[in-house]
Structure 1
Amino acid sequence: MPTSQTLPSPLRAPSLALLLAEPLRAMLDAFGSHVTAHPESVGDGHPVIVYPGLGAGSMNTSQLRNFLRHAGFQANDWGGGVNIGHEGEFDEWLDGLAANVREVQDRHDGRKVSLIGWSLGGIFAREIAKREPDAVRTVITLATPFSALGDSTHAGALYKMLNGDAGQLAPAVEARLRESPPVPTTSIFSKSDGIVNWRGCIEKRSRRTESVEVDASHLGMVNHPDVLRIVANRLAQPEGRWKPLKRAERLRPSAWL
C-alpha cells in the first residue's frame, strides 16, 4: 500500500465511467444502510461533530448522525450550513470551527470531541485537530484526499463555482494538509471512488494512524452500511487505548459492532 510520501505524481481524477456511476451507486449505498445497518449501543456518550462534504449540509449527514446517536454517541452537525469551502483567509476561518469544538467540549463537561469529516469536511476535521489536540479525541475522514488536491479530483469545478478564486490555498498550506493530526486518525477510502483519487486518501503509517478500505461510492460513503459500522467501531474504542482496525475485523462485519 503506498503512503502519501510515495504517491505517484501527478495523480489523475477517477475515470468518467466511475464519475457517471456515482449518483446511482450513492442511492444503492443509502438503501443498503437502511436494510443492513442496525446500530448497537457501543458508545460511551462522548460528543462527535460531523463535517459535510463540498456542496453538502446537515441533511446529507443526518443518517450518519442518527446512526451514531442510536449507537450511543452525542452526534452533532457542524453548524455551518452547506459546505461551500472556507471563506476568507483559511486559518482565520478555521478559528471559528475550532472555537465551536471547544464549545461542544464545554457543554459535555470537558469531554474530548471526536471529529468526522466527509470529503472536504475531512480537511477541516484534520486541521482543527492539529490546532486543538487537547480537545479532540480522534479524527475519522471519509473519502478525504488530503494528500492530493486539485486535478486529482472532479470536485474542482464545483469548488470554484461555489467559492471562486478566494477558495484557493497557498502551496505551503496544501503541504501542511498532508501532515497527520497529532491524535488517532482513521482515513476511510474506496478504490472505486468516482470523485477523488483514492491514493490521495492514504495516511502515512504510524502508531496512531490507519487507512481502511471499503467498496463505496464517494457520494454514498457517508451512508454506506460498512462505513457506518466501521465509524462506530472506531469511536467506541476507550479513550487513550486506540488501536488500528485489524484486517480480520474488516472481513467480519459481526466484529465491527
Structure 2
Amino acid sequence: MENNKTLYTTFTKMAIKVAMINEYSLTKAKELVTKKFEDHPFEKFILKSIKNDEFNKETLIKLTNNCINICEEFGPDRDYITLVLVLESINLETLPKNLKKDISSPIVAHFREEIIKINKTIPAPPPFNMFLETRSLVEWSTMFGLYYLIPKKKQGNNKPVLLMPPYLGNDSSTKFVRKYLKSVGFKTYKWELGVNMINSKYLPKLVERLDEIYEKHGEKVSLVGWSGGGIFAKIIANRYPDKVEQLVTIGSPVWGVNNMQTPLVRVLEFLRGKTLRERNDKFLKELEEIPKVPVTCIYTKTDGLVPWKHCLEAETMRKNIKNVEVYGSHMGMGANASVLVTVANALIENTQGRKPKGFITKLENMFFPKFWERKKGDILKDLISIPNYN
C-alpha cells in the first residue's frame, strides 16, 4: 500500500492540474477527479490526499515526469492502464472547444506512451520456474486420487459454461475443470475444435458455439479459458458482452502479448513460419481491451512458461475485476485443486451476486495459498464456527 500511496498522491496532483490547465477551477477540478475515483480500491486515500494538498506548487510537466519516474521504479503493472484512462477521460471532458492552444493533450499522450514502454519490460520466466514445470507430471497424476477429496457443493444452478483449452491442448486438457464444475451444478461445454493452435480462424466457429449455447439456455454464457484458451475467451467477451456472463482465465496472457517474453511465442512462430505480430496484429490489439463483463484472472507466480504479470487484469478498473493467485505450474493448472475451487467460486459469485457460503466453503479454503499465511488460531476458529448455509 505504501507504494500505491506514493504513486496515487503524485497522480491525483497531475490529474487535477490537467483539469486546471483546461480552465477548470481548483474546486471543480477536485470534484471531477474525486468522481473518477468512485469505487476505486484506494478511494479513501485519494480523497484524503486531494483535500490536504494545495496543487499549485508544481507544473504539469514536472508532475507528469514524477509520475512516470515512480512507475518506472515500481516496474511494469497492468493497473497503470487505469491511470491512463482516467487521465485521458479528464482531459477529454475539460478541454474547451475554443481553446487556441492545446497544452494538456500532448502531455497526456506522452504519459500513455511512457506507460506502454514501461509495460514492455516484463522479463521472461526465470530458468528455475521453467525447470519447476516438470512438477506438472506430479500434479496431473495425483489429481486422479486427490479429486475425490475436494469439497463440492451444488450451487451452479445449471448455468452454462464454455471451456477453452490451452495452446497445444484439446478438450482433454480441461477434463478435471469440467468434471468439477459439473459436480457443483454447472452445465459445461467443450470447445470441440481439436488442438488449440491459437489461430484467429477459430473465432468464427467459437462464436457459433457461443450462439448455440446461448440460444439453448436462453441466458448468458460464462467463458473459462486456460492459457491460450483464455486469449480467445477474452476477445469473445469483448465482442459479445450481451451474450457473455463473465470471463475466467487460468494462466492466460490477457495483455501485452505482442511484447511477451516466453518460449511459447518462439514455438508458436516456428510452427507457423511467421512472427506473432505479422500474423495476428488485429487479434492482439483486441486483446488489450478490457471486457465489460466480470473478470477473474487466476495466475501463479511460479509460472515457467508465461510471465505471471501478463496474466493479471487491471483490478483498479472496476470492483468486478479480480486476480487470484494459486500455487503450481503453468502446465499443471488444469489439475490444480486451487484452480478448480477458484473457478467454481468465481462463477458462483458472479452469476448469483454473492460469495459461496457454508461449512464446505470453509473447507475449500484449505486449497488456497492464503490459508497457509494465516494464524493457526484463526484457521481453527473458522473451521469450528457454526456453519452458515444461507
Distance in 2 separating the partners of 1:238 and 1:19: 33
- Which residue number in structure 2 is paired with residue 13 of structure 1? 124
- Bigger relative CO (Cα 8 Å, ≥ 6 apart): 1
Q: Please give the root-mean-square deviation of Cα atoms over the aligned residues, in Å.
A: 2.7
Q: Do the aligned partners of 2:297 and 2:311 also contact (CA within 8 Å) in 1?
A: yes
- Which residue number in structure 2 is paired with residue 246 of structure 1? none
Do structure 1's residue 82 and structure 2's residue 195 form an aligned pair?
yes
Distance change (3 Å), C-alpha of 1:8 and 1:151? closer
- Which residue number in structure 1 is paired with residue 232 of structure 2? 124
Q: Which amino acid aligns with 1:207?
A: K
- Which residue number in structure 1 is paired with residue 152 of structure 2? 39
Deviation at 1:49, TM superposition (A): 0.8
Deviation at 1:20, TM superposition (A): 2.3
Q: Which amino acid aligns with 2:330?
A: H
Q: Do the aligned partners of 1:84 and 1:162 also contact (CA within 8 Å) in 2?
A: no
Q: Which amino acid aligns with 2:207?
A: A
Q: Do the aligned partners of 1:42 and 1:232 also contact (CA within 8 Å) in 2?
A: no
Q: What whole-Å deviation, never above 9, does each CA across 1:127-146 have from its counterpart, x for those lacking one?
A: 10111111111110001112
Distance in 2 separating the partners of 1:64 and 1:178: 26
Q: Do the aligned partners of 2:294 and 2:350 also contact (CA within 8 Å) in 1?
A: no
Q: Which amino acid aligns with 1:75?
A: T
Q: Which amino acid aligns with 1:12?
A: P
Q: What whole-Å deviation, never above 9, does each CA across 1:82-137 have from its counterpart, x for those lacking one?
A: 1011155xxxx4232112101111122x1211100011110100110111111111
Do structure 1's residue 236 and structure 2's residue 345 form an aligned pair?
no
More helix by share: 2
Q: Do the aligned partners of 2:225 and 2:233 also contact (CA within 8 Å) in 1?
A: yes
- Which residue number in structure 2 is paired with residue 226 of structure 1? 338
Deviation at 1:239, TM superposition (A): 2.9
Distance change (3 Å), C-alpha of 1:5 and 1:175? farther
- Which residue number in structure 1 is paired with residue 170 of structure 2? 57
Distance in 2 separating the partners of 1:141 and 1:242: 20
Q: Tell me which moved more, 150-159 or 186-195.
A: 150-159
Do structure 1's residue 27 and structure 2's residue 137 form an aligned pair?
yes
Q: Which amino acid aligns with 2:298?
A: I
Distance in 2 separating the partners of 1:237 and 1:204: 19
Q: Do the aligned partners of 2:214 and 2:220 also contact (CA within 8 Å) in 1?
A: yes
Q: Which amino acid aligns with 2:78?
A: S
Deviation at 1:160, TM superposition (A): 2.1
Q: Which amino acid aligns with 1:4?
A: R
Deviation at 1:5, TM superposition (A): 4.7
- Which residue number in structure 1 is paired with residue 250 of structure 2? 142
- Which residue number in structure 1 is paired with residue 205 of structure 2? 96
Q: Which amino acid aligns with 2:230?
A: G
1:73 to 182, 186, 190: 186
Q: Do the aligned partners of 1:32 and 1:224 also contact (CA within 8 Å) in 2?
A: no
Distance change (3 Å), C-alpha of 1:121 and 1:25? same
Q: Do the aligned partners of 2:78 and 2:119 also contact (CA within 8 Å) in 1?
A: no
Q: Do the aligned partners of 1:85 and 1:163 also contact (CA within 8 Å) in 2?
A: no
TM-score, normalized by length of structure 2? 0.58
Q: Do the aligned partners of 1:117 and 1:140 also contact (CA within 8 Å) in 2?
A: yes
Deviation at 1:252, TM superposition (A): 4.8
**Structure 2: gaps spanning 5 or more residues:** 5-75, 81-117, 356-364, 373-382
Q: What whole-Å deviation, never above 9, does each CA across 1:182-238 have from its counterpart, x for those lacking one?
A: 100000011000000001111112122111111111001121000100111111126
**Structure 1: gaps spanning 5 or more residues:** 244-248
Distance in 2 separating the partners of 1:40 and 1:242: 15
Q: Do the aligned partners of 1:141 and 1:188 also contact (CA within 8 Å) in 2?
A: yes
Distance change (3 Å), C-alpha of 1:226 and 1:107? same
2:292 to 157, 182, 203: 182
Q: Do the aligned partners of 1:44 and 1:72 also contact (CA within 8 Å) in 2?
A: yes
Distance in 2 separating the partners of 1:207 and 1:215: 24
More strand by share: 1
TM-score, normalized by length of structure 1? 0.85
SS of 2:162's equivalent in the other structure is strand
- Which residue number in structure 1 is paired with residue 216 of structure 2? 107
SS of 2:341's equivalent in the other structure is helix
Distance in 2 separating the partners of 1:28 and 1:39: 23
Q: Tell me which moved more, 143-152 or 11-20.
A: 143-152
